[in-house]
Amino acid sequence: MSAPAYTTDEMMTVSASRMLRNGAVCFVGIGLPSTAANLARLTHAPEAVLIYESGPIGAKPPVLPLSIGDGNLADTADTVVSTPEIFRYWLQGGRVDVGFLGAAQLDRFANLNTTVIGDYRKPKTRLPGAGGAPEISSSAKEVLIIVRQSKRTFVQKLDFITSVGHLTGGDSRAKLGLPGKGPTAVITDLCILRPDPTTRELMVTHIHPGVTRETILDKTGWAIQFAEGCHATDLPSEHELQTLRNLHQRTAEAHGVVGAEA
């Protein structure tokens, strides 16, 4: 059987969705993380519990939400709680297995910037800010990050650390005494990266089919390392691709626009 045709974004979303195990309690960011988490729920992880910071717990949206608090999240949730309760009882309370985040910028230790490009007080670009991410990245038992890879997103040095990953590497995160173990994988449109067990620096462990090491080097702002035994990511299956495309199609129809990807 020949490999199905797919886009790099589809490869990224499918790869990210596979990281979410069935039954996991997942605190979901809006946009790419929400797409991947819902794809997981519609394929191999029907028992995954999706929590959105606006208050829905166990959301099963029929189409992708455009905002973090769309009505279909509340309609399909097991329960809807207040925002203080979400952060106090459920996230800080230690009930979340996986935090699923995006980012504007990240560095080699998977620290995230969603605050500013440039100087904080005189920013070149003012980004939306922290939202729930600093506490998700510290309190979720582990963190998955999904982001498109480029020299703009994968930078040598962050202008601002909004949410901590592995800080300066080694045992620096452990010394902060955070409850969660931090980012365990970064999934991009080119590859999958995981932190080295000792240095905590991100290493490429899987390269998406058709992507070269040169492309990855070219789209990274630091001298990125490839793990020994780094191999090709499994191709998306027909079922995964069809489920994802149907989800996007339903979403576009529901929102009255084409290309509803946030």
Partner 1 sequence: MAHWTSLSEAVRTHIHDGDTVALEGFTHLIPFAAGHEIIRQGIRNLSLIRMTPDVIYDQLIGAGCARKLTFSWGGNPGVGSLHRLRDAVEQAWPHALELEERSHADMANAYVAGAANLPFAIMRGYSGSDLPKFNTQIRTIRCPFTGEELAATPAVRPDVAVIHAQKADAKGNVLLWGIVGVQKEAVLASKRAIVTVEERVEKLDAPENACVLPGWVVDAVCLVPHGAHPSYAHGYYDRDNVFYRQWDAISRDRESFLAWIKHYILETSDFAEYEQRLAATAGQVVNA
Q: Which residues are catalytic?
A: 53
How far is the C-alpha of 136 from the C-alpha of 41, rounded, in Å? Answer: 20
Give the three-state DSSP class for 259: coil
**Using CA atoms in the order 219, 207, 164, 107, what is the torsion angle rounded to 10 degrees?**
-20
Task: Determine, following the binding rule CB under 8 A, whether residue 162 of this chain makes contact with partner 1.
Answer: yes
Contact positions with partner 1 (CB under 8 A) in 68-97: 68-71, 73-74, 80, 82-84, 86-88, 91-92
Q: How far is CA 69 from CA 41, 159, 180, in A?
A: 19, 29, 25
Task: Determine, following the binding rule CB under 8 A, whether residue 155 of this chain makes contact with partner 1.
Answer: no
State in angstroms the smallest separation of the CB of 75 from partner 1: 8
Q: Which is nearer to partner 1, 169 or 236 (CB)?
A: 169
State in angstroms the smallest separation of the CB of 20 from partner 1: 21
Cβ-in-10-Å burial (0-12, 13-18, 19+) of 100 comes to: buried
Q: Residue 99 gets which letter from DSSP?
A: E
State in angstroms the smallest separation of the CB of 226 from partner 1: 27
**Residue ranges binding partner 1 (CB under 8 A):** 30-31, 53-56, 65-71, 73-74, 80, 82-84, 86-88, 91-92, 111, 115, 120-121, 123-126, 128-135, 138-139, 160-164, 167, 173, 176-179, 255-257, 262
